[in-house]
Amino acid sequence: MSFFTRRTFLAAALGSTALAALPGTASEAVPFTRDIVVAKARALAAADYAERPTVPKDWLDQSYDDYKARWFRTKDALWAGTDRSYNVDFFLPGLYFPRAIQINTVANGLSARVPFDLSLFDKSDKAPDLTTEGDLGYSGLRLRTEQSEPGKKTEFCVFQGASYFRAIGTGNAYGQSARGLALKTADPEGEEFPEFIEFWLEAPAPGQRHVVVHALMDSPSVTGAYRFTITPGSSAVMDVEATLFAREDLTHAGLAPLTSMFLFDAKNRHDFDDFRPAVHDTDGLLVQNGNGETLWRPLSNPKRLQVSSFVDENPRGFGLMQRARKLSDFNDLEAFYHKRPCLWVEPKQDWGKGAVTLVEIPADKEIYDNIVAYWRPREPYAKGSEIRLDYRLTWGSEPSLPLPRVLSTAEGARIFGGPGRIITIDFDSHPLLDGDPEDLDVHIHSPHVAASDGVLQRNPETGGMRLAFYFDPEDRDHIEFRAQLRKDGNPASEVWLYRWTA
């Protein structure tokens, strides 16, 4: 490829302003360290925000079928044909991805830009003709490495769209996503979506099990430099280091945000005419708070927007879990919801006072991500602040916590014995729950209604305990509940938290 053509590709990927700052050709290597990404983020924050140009209109106007009619040719992936332990595929812009990103590789302390190359994509005969000039570039990337099949590199992680990314453990199907940062989620004035605008991929050595990805984030209110150390396996583990620079006062920042989908399960099955018993990527929020308490909040698909805050100091971990793990839980032979990954966030530093925040948005179709969870610091970050974050994301299995888990929650009308509603809570089989149910103390509390005494029975199918109780909501539109099993004065289950809505 000639010098002129390389620069033409780069101009398409970056725009003329970035090209003017380029210290040479697309293949020229320049020194690289994480500090360089931090310096770029700091410099961006010191300047006024400038929205990047979009790709040409015909790229944006594609239908979903048009967009899917082109696909990356994996045999030509980055590092394909080498002995490096990872391959990287790229995604095209357009449709839902209006702005291109810049991708760089890093080897021996030097970085080089990856030019945009449309010829790396195959297409069907239904693919529309598209302009090849303008602000073009890739919209994201996919990581592949050897996992369960020797000699075959399979995908496990994708970065694409705003600051979204997702990963899976071995045997999982893609489900929930994470983001670099959430801003003003569910605020009346609207949410702000920071974007990863540039990536640096450190070239892995032969046999190296982890891969390092750097990302530069930009937004009207904040910029950031991220370093992801990613290790695939039965669960994919990401160690995240981030340095943020506040352009404006960050009055509502969500740290380590997770995004998922919950449509229905046994709690609201009656609202959907569907052959499946449940449809969701995750079914509950798990929190291990700073006091060591383990909380479980079943997810809901409410009639109106719900925001719940679990006030805490220095949380030990939180995440969205998928506890329904049998095909029969969903009866879906295409979506395989029972294989969706759990995602657990572990801060590696003290995050101070704040709240694990859960946002539940009404949804009528499974195509909408209507669940968001994140840590919201109690004190806003002031304009000019520099914020450093260090945390771990684990995609796949649940964290191994000591107390018996809540497997499922069901709710329905009280058919016999008077008006009201019945709730059942199934707990997992666990040594703490062995023996006679009478050896366990049941604690049920609500600030709004008087709940019945709980009935505790062993469930022969799960081997664990089932707690059932009833209540009369009368004319209330929502009721909060808290329940836990205890033994000899000590916790014998997670704390079950539930918001009933009319």
Q: Is 109 exposed, middle or buried (0-12, 13-18, 19+ CB in 10 A)?
A: exposed
What proportion of the chain, given as a percentage, has pLDDT over 70?
95
Q: What are phi and psi of 284, to 5 degrees?
A: -170, 155
CA-based torsion, 254, 256, 260, 265: positive or negative:
negative
Contact 451, 469 (CB under 8 A): yes
pLDDT digits (tens, 9 = 90+) for 329-364: 999 999 999 999 999 999 999 999 999 999 999 999
Round the average pLDDT of the chain to a whole number and report it: 92
SS3 label, residue 368: coil
Residue 14 has pLDDT above 90, yes or no: no
Range of lowest pLDDT (2-11, 218-227, 391-400): 2-11
What confidence score (pLDDT) does residue 151 get?
Answer: 87
Residue with tokens 């590199």: 153
pLDDT digits (tens, 9 = 90+) for 300-316: 999 999 999 999 999 99
What confidence score (pLDDT) does residue 50 get?
Answer: 96
pLDDT digits (tens, 9 = 90+) for 406-422: 999 999 999 888 889 99
Residue with tokens 């944006």: 60
Q: How far apart are CA 478 and CA 8, in angstroms?
A: 60
What is the separation of C-alpha 177 from the centre of its chain, rounded to a whole number of angstroms?
3
DSSP letters for 390-444 = EEEEEEESPP--SSPPEEEEEEEE--SSSSSEEEEEEE---GGG-S-GGGSEEEE
The C-alpha torsion from 21 through 27 and 28 to 32, rounded to 10°, is 80
Range of lowest pLDDT (251-265, 313-327, 379-393, 413-427): 413-427
CA nearest to 499, candidates 317, 294, 306: 306
Extract the tokens encoding 204: 């892995």
Q: How far apart are CA 184 and CA 283, in angstroms?
A: 24
pTM over 0.75: yes
CA nearest to 240, candidates 33, 391, 347, 349: 391
Q: Going by DSSP bridges, is the β-strand pair 306-313/353-360 parallel, antiparallel, or unpaired?
A: antiparallel
The C-alpha torsion from 374 through 375 and 380 to 382, rounded to 10°, is -80
Q: Going by DSSP bridges, is the β-strand pair 236-246/386-396 parallel, antiparallel, or unpaired?
A: antiparallel
Extract the tokens encoding 49: 């925000």
Contact 263, 366 (CB under 8 A): yes
pLDDT digits (tens, 9 = 90+) for 183-231: 999 999 899 999 999 999 999 999 999 999 999 999 999 999 999 999 9
What is the separation of C-alpha 43 from the centre of its chain, rounded to a whole number of angstroms?
28
Mean pLDDT of 96-109: 96
Per-residue confidence band for 11, with pLDDT thresholds at 50, 70 and 90: very low
What confidence score (pLDDT) does residue 27 get?
Answer: 57
The 3-class SS string of 436-495 reads CHHHCEEEEECCCCCCCCCEEEECCCCCCEEEEEEECCCCCCEEEEEEEEEECCEECCCE
The C-alpha torsion from 283 through 289 and 293 to 297, rounded to 10°, is -20
CA nearest to 37, candidates 94, 85, 102, 90: 102
What confidence score (pLDDT) does residue 389 get?
Answer: 98
Element (H, E) at 500: strand 495-501
Contact 157, 199 (CB under 8 A): no
pLDDT digits (tens, 9 = 90+) for 28-76: 889 999 999 999 999 999 999 999 999 999 999 999 999 999 999 999 9
Residues 6+ apart with CB under 8 A from 139: 91, 92, 93, 94, 97, 99, 100, 101, 160, 161
What proportion of the chain, given as a percentage, has pLDDT over 90?
91
What confidence score (pLDDT) does residue 6 get?
Answer: 27
